Amino acid sequence: MIKAIIADDEPAAAMMIHHLITESELPIEIVGTANDGAAALSLIRSKHPDLVFIDIQMPCMNGFQVIQEEPNCRYIIITAYESFQYAQQALRLGAKDILLKPVEYDAFCHSVGKAIGWKFTKNALTNEILAYIQANYQTNIEVNQLAKQYYTTASHVTRTFKKHMGVGIVAYLHGVRIKNAVEMLEKTDVGIKEVSIACGYENLNNFYKYFKKLVGYTPAAYRDNNLHISDSIRIEELVRKA
């Protein structure tokens, strides 16, 4: 599940977000709500959420100040103020998206997918599997294991995922792993073998095989040539090659 916090001084806004999550069947768990900026900051530091829905105008601290204090979170700004200046400042501070109240269903789903980094579907089981893969791609994930976890059959899991994602679970998993490997090669000095293990490949040869297939370079060549594609790369682009 994706852990999220709502920070808004209007109770109706929190209710609206809860309703949209329920209606869209997104795998989001609200782990806290705050009605002022100081309380929001405290919640962020104690709960370590994956996503924060935050208003701009709040007592104690505004949304921009909260983002400045904790810039490493994923923020979606939800505001009643349609302002180009607000949008500029929000994006400059690293907010993933801005939604205007009242928030529409399709815009909400798109915004969450944009912030988290992968698209969601209109199927609850598929969304749960997507969230599980994102949180556990470093481990050995098998279809039978997923079927047991979600109290269904392996054939149903396979068929449902392929129907709503257009690709199989294994292909999608390799896409997630390689995307994270690309980011590690760009942003860290961790050795290639360690990157391989951290991204779920205990066999280094398999890591090289899938990295070359999906990215077009070996991991060593990618790093040695100081290539940078992670800002624009999408999991969907990778899984089409898998």
Total residues found in the chain within this entry: 242
Q: Above 60 in pLDDT, residue 231?
A: no
- Decide: 200 and 137 in contact? Cβ < 8 Å: yes
Classify each residue of 87-108 as buried b or exposed e, where b means 16 or more C-beta atoms within 10 Å of its C-beta: eebbeebebbbbbeeebeeeeb
Residue that is written with structure tokens 């890591």 in the block: 207
pLDDT category, 239, cuts 50, 70, 90? low
Q: Give the span between the Cα atoms of 183 and 231, in whole angstroms.
A: 9
Reduced to 3 states (helix: H, G, I; strand: E, B; else coil), residue 55 is: coil
Residue 74 CA to residue 95 CA, distance in Å, equals 7
User: For position 240, what pLDDT does the model report?
Assistant: 63
Residue ranges and CATH numbers for the domains of the chain are 2-116 (3.40.50.2300), 138-242 (1.10.10.60)
Task: Render pLDDT for 33-87 as a digit per residue (tens, 0 to 9).
Answer: 999 999 999 999 999 999 999 998 899 989 899 999 999 899 999 887 776 677 7
The answer to whether the pTM exceeds 0.85 is no
More confident residue, 86 or 5: 5
Percent of the chain with pLDDT over 90: 51
Residues 6+ apart with CB under 8 A from 190: 184, 198
Q: pLDDT tens digits, residue range 86-119?
A: 777 877 888 888 888 888 888 888 888 888 877 7
How far apart CA 218 and CA 212 sit, in angstroms, is 5
